[in-house]
Amino acid sequence: MTHTNYKVKNISLAKNGKLKLDWAEAHMPVLMLIRKEFVKKSPLNGLRVGACLHVTKETGVLVRTLKAAGAEVFLCASNPLSTQDDVAAALAKEGIHVFAWRGMKRKEYYWALKQVLNAKPNLLLDDGGDLISTLHSQKPELIRDVFGGQEETTTGVLRFRAMEREGALKIPIVAVNDTPTKRMFDNVYGTGQSTIDGILRSTNVMIAGKTFVVCGYGFCGRGIAWKARGMGANVIVTEVDPIKALQALMDGFRVMTMKEAAKIGDIFVTATGNISVIRREHMLLMKDGAILANSGHFNVEISMQDLKRISKNVRKIRDNVEEYTLKNGKRLYLLAEGRLVNLAAAEGHPSEVMDMSFSNQALIAEWLVKNHKKLEPRVYNVPEEIDRRIARLKLKSMGIKIDKLTQEQKNYLFSWREGT
Amino acid sequence: MTHTNYKVKNISLAKNGKLKLDWAEAHMPVLMLIRKEFVKKSPLNGLRVGACLHVTKETGVLVRTLKAAGAEVFLCASNPLSTQDDVAAALAKEGIHVFAWRGMKRKEYYWALKQVLNAKPNLLLDDGGDLISTLHSQKPELIRDVFGGQEETTTGVLRFRAMEREGALKIPIVAVNDTPTKRMFDNVYGTGQSTIDGILRSTNVMIAGKTFVVCGYGFCGRGIAWKARGMGANVIVTEVDPIKALQALMDGFRVMTMKEAAKIGDIFVTATGNISVIRREHMLLMKDGAILANSGHFNVEISMQDLKRISKNVRKIRDNVEEYTLKNGKRLYLLAEGRLVNLAAAEGHPSEVMDMSFSNQALIAEWLVKNHKKLEPRVYNVPEEIDRRIARLKLKSMGIKIDKLTQEQKNYLFSWREGT
Amino acid sequence: MTHTNYKVKNISLAKNGKLKLDWAEAHMPVLMLIRKEFVKKSPLNGLRVGACLHVTKETGVLVRTLKAAGAEVFLCASNPLSTQDDVAAALAKEGIHVFAWRGMKRKEYYWALKQVLNAKPNLLLDDGGDLISTLHSQKPELIRDVFGGQEETTTGVLRFRAMEREGALKIPIVAVNDTPTKRMFDNVYGTGQSTIDGILRSTNVMIAGKTFVVCGYGFCGRGIAWKARGMGANVIVTEVDPIKALQALMDGFRVMTMKEAAKIGDIFVTATGNISVIRREHMLLMKDGAILANSGHFNVEISMQDLKRISKNVRKIRDNVEEYTLKNGKRLYLLAEGRLVNLAAAEGHPSEVMDMSFSNQALIAEWLVKNHKKLEPRVYNVPEEIDRRIARLKLKSMGIKIDKLTQEQKNYLFSWREGT
Amino acid sequence: MTHTNYKVKNISLAKNGKLKLDWAEAHMPVLMLIRKEFVKKSPLNGLRVGACLHVTKETGVLVRTLKAAGAEVFLCASNPLSTQDDVAAALAKEGIHVFAWRGMKRKEYYWALKQVLNAKPNLLLDDGGDLISTLHSQKPELIRDVFGGQEETTTGVLRFRAMEREGALKIPIVAVNDTPTKRMFDNVYGTGQSTIDGILRSTNVMIAGKTFVVCGYGFCGRGIAWKARGMGANVIVTEVDPIKALQALMDGFRVMTMKEAAKIGDIFVTATGNISVIRREHMLLMKDGAILANSGHFNVEISMQDLKRISKNVRKIRDNVEEYTLKNGKRLYLLAEGRLVNLAAAEGHPSEVMDMSFSNQALIAEWLVKNHKKLEPRVYNVPEEIDRRIARLKLKSMGIKIDKLTQEQKNYLFSWREGT
């Protein structure tokens, strides 16, 4: 690796990016511990890693770790609005092949994906599934170089499972998204906080006293709903799944159809992994001044098409706030163009929570290298021992001690004969 | 069925028991709807059902429903302290063969189990696993009459999975406990409320301002911890599982070892499914006046043996409160003799939550009859369609409407080609 | 005092009552400390104290303390349904002149008041204002013996302030109710918990998932609303005061008129200190199965008259639960006959919180004796030093240490010249 | 008023400032309603208003309203770090005499105060008390022109009450800070949210799972503690007042001395109105990585002097984050130089909450003009009718309807004769 290919906004932002990376490293103790090991063992020595991730300071810490493990890393953005340009610059300067800048056009976005694929990566880290989908649909000739991939989002895992069902999947994928130390922490606690953060930074509105509608009560939606309540909102949940709807009710939230919620909400956040969750029929019912935001992976949850069609005027009122004046005279405020509000309007998940998600990614990279010959082209779960190891390291880094099973307890749990 | 065999405390309590059953039926709309269907279809016609359950008003509603489906029902208690004697009397009067009274001795408890098994039941409903274990260990000759069984607790499911692993399981079991409409509601919301209720009824102590230690952060422990916080306690969680420990931390609780917690707790509740969670070494560290309660299935979580050994005096101070004066001079207050505090000191789960658990049981009984010939001697999950049907009925009974997937959304979710 | 006059339900209940009193004393450390002092100093030596209080185990601890201070105590019940008969018996046996039993008729209630007044008390402890009102209206000749009175409820203080405004008040009254260590703790935390407790004991319904309407967002209403939310309810607040209504909104609750709330509530609790808060027009709108309870002092907040008038049938369904079948066919469930649900259906406030309220009463009794000659016939606040002393003792009893102001800090706070 | 005197950072920022002001006006419906009236009635016609306030978009809406009422307004900043330069520019352009920019030096700060005083204002709006203190200490000759002043902070009101006690106060002051629609909303809900916001924007750390220490449990501290818990923190409160300490305990928080809290906290926020709340002895005990922030009015709550003295190195790590490396090797992170973190690192209180505080200020300005001849040089409370009027307008703007007292209820409340 004598030369770093990259395309970033401005390489001179690197100094500030480095400070951000340092700050993140101070809050990602588990990944730093893993890096130490990787430096010793070089588990990715000589391999090429292609990553399509939100280019944030936390991703930077992961990418530095992969490099420390011996890999050459090619990085593009998994979302056109989520790149932190200073971090991208710092990584480029350190020898990471970064192709990412905030505000990429659709064409540029796919151009960047291809730069990464063209490097013939052996391992793929994906966030939303675009990198691996593109590999399958447009660069099938590169598949034979790939040991396996990892996917970080619910959305992406759904796509790969669909591909597996149809026999279209050609590489093993580890569903990092689904593992407890990722899903329960990143999705619930990370998304919860960073969504509130994104709304505050973009609007500065009072959350207390507002009627706050959360679309979807999966792990992400749950995190958002609880934090919104924690900030004093009166929260309404909409769902299509009767079991999740019941959970929301039992957790003290109101549950109703989107059509009912549309009339009374002050702030709406989507977190469903689905399309057109807020659409024309809902927008027309909303109150003047309603705020719309999305925390799902793709910017399809709020129908931009519908919103534009029913509007007579659009203007930018603040960073990440666009005012849509509808033909009916009401004004709706769309945050971050309907993209992930927590990444586009804030800084994404806090480092502490990404520490766990990305520690999974680092250890899974190692695991794929070791095991790829035995693996089939399907979606795998994270091995339980990796998950538990991360949890134990995290507790340790927080100074928390927990109990251990006594021998009597082990016997009791594993033998049905002990009984009553 | 010309004659009802039964043994209850006092048959003349039946009138009051009937009022309780009526009250429960008014709060169990889903099960009542299922009963209506069962009356028409008689799905259990001519069959014998053996049930080992907490003999509460809600169980009564289930048992009435099974009878309405055509079954002859034999009922014993799954816990010596949880029987509501008036309900037992009312059921006996209505033709249910009940063998249960509050305060059964160990010997009587097993005698009652055997009365139920001796009836040669075709279906077994178990809560804790004692009925089905006893069938295997002591009445193996009756196994051939059994279509299958159902188990309602985490503890019991653990036992049957262990039996399955060892090849000892001889009948198909449906793990009703594990299905979302049971586990997520009964364990979390039911146990949460009824544990607080049991503590309040037995002690009337102020929860606010107390240091409240919850042992175990599974579904039950989580429910208890959240409700204790909701009542104003400062909650500490102890765990052996690093992932659950992290969740507790992220939910804002303190996490520490039991040895640390023992020194500072005012109220301790166990909900682990394990044995000797609070034992000698912990009791000796506790503050004068500490209160000990258990919400796990068996009365083994607090070591009674240890407590007795280190005490110099015991006296009953209130219903369900025993004062143990330790040799070190401190007084510990044990609730409900270490048995399920929510059942022994309160009335168990509210009817609304049992509505879901017991609707599962009713529908699974029907399902076992229909499918038993295809089933193997292993632990089955509740079929997803049954679970979702119950959730939908429950929402309907609460007057709640939720969204449906549009065609566009179905396409999006199930096809990976739609992509970005 | 050679002979104890008393009228209780059954003197043989005394043994059980004594256990209750012991349990309460173990949870009232501040009052016990004060008792120790009183035993030494006999501050009420030779005086007669008349008390109209809820005759609970906690009141018993207060009354024992007053007796220990040298007083002869005459006690009647401030509510016909709140007397704990075993405690009354125990007190009678110890030499307190008790005239109270659960389920007193109106006539008996006033008879008991007069027994207390006829003893020519020097100090009056009132809870609701009936004792002192009766003194003024029916026994004015006894006023000259009275050093002063104390009032424990918002309701009562309102009455005495009205009397003061009209020049009708003839004795000094200390508004114990209004002092922070009473109002903020007893009303908020005590009423909050004990109201939930009363609802659970009487109905055993699931709180989670219910729409829970709290009428009034004063200290009591606030306590109830927060605890109901803490148990998983979706809470609606009704108010007449715009500032309190705004607070409820900002705390995340829904606020609406009673007419709107009536249609959607599952459980209603009044805590306003006012009359006919739930009345005919609201009852007619309610859902079948709605539950009505009152936590305000008098049983006038839910209009019993209206409820009876629109009903065609009433039956008792459980202890403290009456089913009213309206002429429109719907069933409403009234708890504890509309009396204080926390006292009538549970055990009233926990000992820990009464510890503070009653420590105020004990110290104010001493203060009235010392200061009565200087006092005028008006409503006084509790002297701040008494209030703070109680708070400090309470913290100490809980093992809590707090910071002290440094000299620099005292200077800073008290001198405006320090400035920026 | 032919010429606007001003000094701002950059007048060309006005366009952006205007957008901010528009956004704020859309969220301040009560103040906008008052402005409408003021335009009609010109209650401040020909008067000069001097204001020392945080120069934010919300202050801009107030200042526009005062101008619309006919006043000439002179505005300086009440904090060197809280000025939004674009808003300052927009106001200057609209004819407000603004002397404020972010990052003023101490000398510049006092220079700006004097520009305002030199305009010989008739009304003074103060936030922290510096303007009115300076008037008294350095420009006593201008006092005769002053009708009265208003003070917006706890800190300032404490100063003026001290001055009143010493006879040093020469003008009437209205303690806007103390009125319910200010204190209960601005301090509790405003400070709560904006403090969390300031911490998130400056650090992006995870709040969930952190030990969060709040110094002071007054209105502000309470708001912060509840919101921190709402975001998943485990919250510790420190206090010097035993009653507030007890409230914190009963609200479920841990309470301890600062020395104990110092050892275990991850994030510290001061909100006491006092000096040196976090000082050398505490800093030396803190964990590596601890974060320190202040939400009290003055930057004296965290002793900067002590922090500098015990540090060997300081560097800026992010906007509003300085890393102090202590001589003991540990790193402490100070936010916003110890100034109000909610204003310096975020945007201050949300518009919705300032709507109420500033509506008070607008109406009090009118009230002072009408009543100043009757007033004495002392600290007045906001007249209750103004407070209630604002609450009613706010509810109306939120579309909330509340109940009204019936005639029966009014009679009941105001007559003690109705009784039981």
Q: What is the mean pLDDT of each run of 10 residues along chain C (420 residues)?
A: 84 95 95 96 98 96 98 96 95 97 95 97 96 96 96 90 94 93 88 96 96 96 98 98 96 98 98 96 97 93 97 95 97 96 88 94 97 96 95 94 94 63
Q: Give A354 to chain B, closest Cα distance, Å.
A: 14
C206 contacts in B (CB within 8 Å)? 27, 189-190, 193, 350-353
- Cβ neighbourhood burial of D405 (10 Å; 0-12, 13-18, 19+): middle
Extended strands (E) in C216-264: 234-238, 254-255
Segment among A400-414, B98-112, B319-333, D235-249 with least mean pLDDT: A400-414
Task: Give the tens place of pLDDT for each residue, B85-103.
Answer: 999 999 999 999 999 999 9
Closest residue to B234, CB basis, from D232, D233, D254? D254
Please indicate whether, in this complex, the C-beta atoms of A193 and D232 are within 8 angstroms of each other.
yes
pLDDT at position C404: 95
- Are A229 and C252 in contact (CB < 8 Å)? yes
Mark yes or no for CB contact B27/C206 under 8 Å: yes
For residue C6, give how far its alpha carbon lies from the nearest alpha carbon of chain D (Å).
24
Q: Report d(CA C88, CA C80) in Å as an integer.
A: 13
Task: ipTM value, please give it.
Answer: 0.89
Q: Band the pLDDT of A165: cuts 50, 70, 90.
A: very high
What six digits make up the tokens of D387? 């407070």
| Smallest CA–CA distance from C231 into chain A, residue | A252
D234, B250: Cβ pair inside 8 Å? no
pLDDT of C415 reads 67
According to the model, what pLDDT value does residue A417 have?
A: 47
- Contacts of residue A94, defined as CB under 8 A and 6 or more positions apart, other chains included, come to A64, A67
Tell me the average pLDDT of chain B. Answer: 94
Cβ(C294)–Cβ(C341) below 8 Å: yes
Q: pLDDT band for position B2 (50/70/90)? A: low
Closest residue to A394, CB basis, from B181, B246, B391: B246
Nearest in space to A91 (alpha carbons), one of A28, A24, A180, A32: A24
Question: Which of A250, A264, A267 is the best residue to mutate to test the C interface, defined by the most C CB atoms within 10 Å of its own CB?
Answer: A250
- Tokens 């919301």 correspond to B189
DSSP helix, strand, coil percent of chain A (3-state; round to 5): 50, 15, 35
CA distance C84 to C86: 6
Across chain D, mean pLDDT equals 94
Query: What pLDDT band is residue B1 in, cutting at 50, 70 and 90?
Result: very low
C-alpha span between A310 and A326 (Å, rounded): 6
SS3 C351: helix
**Taking CA atoms, what residue in D is nearest to A28?**
D205
Torsion angle (degrees, nearest 10) of CA D56, D61, D62, D68: 140
Query: C208–A253: do the CB atoms touch at under 8 Å?
Result: no
Q: How far apart are CA B161 and CA D240, in angstroms?
A: 56
Q: Quote the CA–CA distance of B154 and D191 in Å, as a whole number.
A: 45
Task: Select the highest-mean-pLDDT range: A175-179, A232-236, D341-345.
Answer: A232-236
Among the listed ranges B299-313, C92-106, D406-420, which one has the minimum average pLDDT value? D406-420
Strand ranges for A115-260 from DSSP E: 123-126, 148-151, 173-174, 211-215, 234-238, 254-255
Q: Do B400 and A255 lie within an 8 Å CB cutoff?
A: yes
Interface test with D, best of A20, A195, A205, A206 (most D CBs within 10 A): A206
Q: Which pLDDT band, with edges at 50, 70 and 90, does B333 fall under?
A: very high
Show which residues on chain A lie within 8 Å of chain C, measured between beta carbons: 208-209, 229, 232-235, 246, 249-254
User: Among C27-36, D148-157, D281-290, which is the least confidently predicted range?
Assistant: D148-157
Q: Which residues contact B299 (CB under 8 A, 6 or more apart)?
A: B337, B338, B339, B340
> Least CA distance to B251: which residue of chain A?
A189
Q: In what order do the strands lie in the sheet with B267-270?
A: B254-255, B234-238, B211-215, B267-270, B291-294, B331-335, B321-326, B311-318
Using an 8 Å CB-CB cutoff, list chain A residues near D23.
317-318, 321
pLDDT at A1 exceeding the cut of 50: no
pLDDT digits (tens, 9 = 90+) for A183-209: 888 888 999 999 999 999 999 999 999
> For residue A2, what pLDDT band results from cuts at 50, 70 and 90?
low
pLDDT, tens digit, 9 for 90 and up, residues B104-139? 999 999 999 999 999 999 999 999 999 999 999 999
pLDDT of residue B184: 82
Which residues on D lie below 8 Å from C192 (Cβ)? Answer: none
Q: Over 80: is that where the pLDDT of D414 sits?
A: no
pLDDT tens for A48-88 read 999 999 999 999 999 999 999 999 999 999 998 889 999 99
Q: Residues of B at the C interface (Cβ-Cβ below 8 Å)?
A: 19-20, 22-23, 26-27, 189-190, 192-193, 196-197, 200-201, 204-209, 227, 229-232, 289, 317-318, 321, 346-347, 350-353, 398
Q: Which chain C residues are closer than 8 Å to A250 by Cβ?
A: 208-209, 232
> Which residues, at least 6 apart from C170, have a Cβ–Cβ distance to it below 8 Å?
C136, C140, C143, C377
What residues in C contact D168, CB-CB < 8 Å?
416
Q: CA-CA distance, A357 to A190, in Å (whole number)?
A: 10
Whether residue D417 has pLDDT greater than 70? no
User: A238 and B402: CB-CB below 8 Å?
Assistant: yes
Residue B243 has pLDDT above 90, yes or no: yes
Residue B420 confidence (pLDDT) above 50: no
* Closest chain D residue to the Cα of B254, Cα to Cα: D234
The residue-averaged pLDDT of D146-168 equals 92
Beta-carbon contacts of C417 under 8 Å, excluding residues fewer than 6 positions away, are: none
**Rounded to an integer, what distance in angstroms lies between the CA atom of residue C122 and that of residue C73?**
10
All residues of chain D having their beta carbon less than 8 Å from the beta carbon of residue C239 are 402-403
Report the phi/psi class of residue C84: left, alpha or beta, with left for phi > 0 and alpha for psi in -120 to 50: beta
Q: Answer yes or no: is pLDDT of A419 > 80.
A: no
Pairing of strands C123-126, C97-99: unpaired
Whether pLDDT at B80 is above 50 = yes
∠ Cα A93 A176 D234 (to 5°): 90
* Kind plus residue range of the DSSP H or E element containing C296: none
Task: Give residue-wise pLDDT tens across range A321-348.
Answer: 999 999 999 999 999 999 999 988 998 8
Check if the beta carbon of residue D204 is closer than 8 Å to that of residue A347.
Answer: yes
Q: What percentage of chain D reaches a pLDDT higher than 70?
A: 98
- A106-133 as b/e, with b when 16 or more CB fall inside 10 Å? eebbbebbebbbebebbbbbbbbbbbbb
pLDDT value, residue A328: 95
List chain C residues with CB under 8 Å of D410.
none
State the DSSP string of B266-299: SEEEE-SS-S-SB-HHHHTTPPTT-EEEE-SSST
Q: For residue A408, give the nearest of B247, B276, B394 by CB distance.
A: B276
Query: Which alpha helices (DSSP H) does A69-105 contain, by range?
Result: 85-93
Q: B317: which DSSP letter?
A: E
Among A400, A404, A415, the residue to mutate for chain B (most B Cβ within 10 A): A400
| A281: pLDDT strictly greater than 90 | yes
Tokens representing residue A184 in the block: 């329960």
Task: Give me the pLDDT at residue C420, please.
Answer: 40
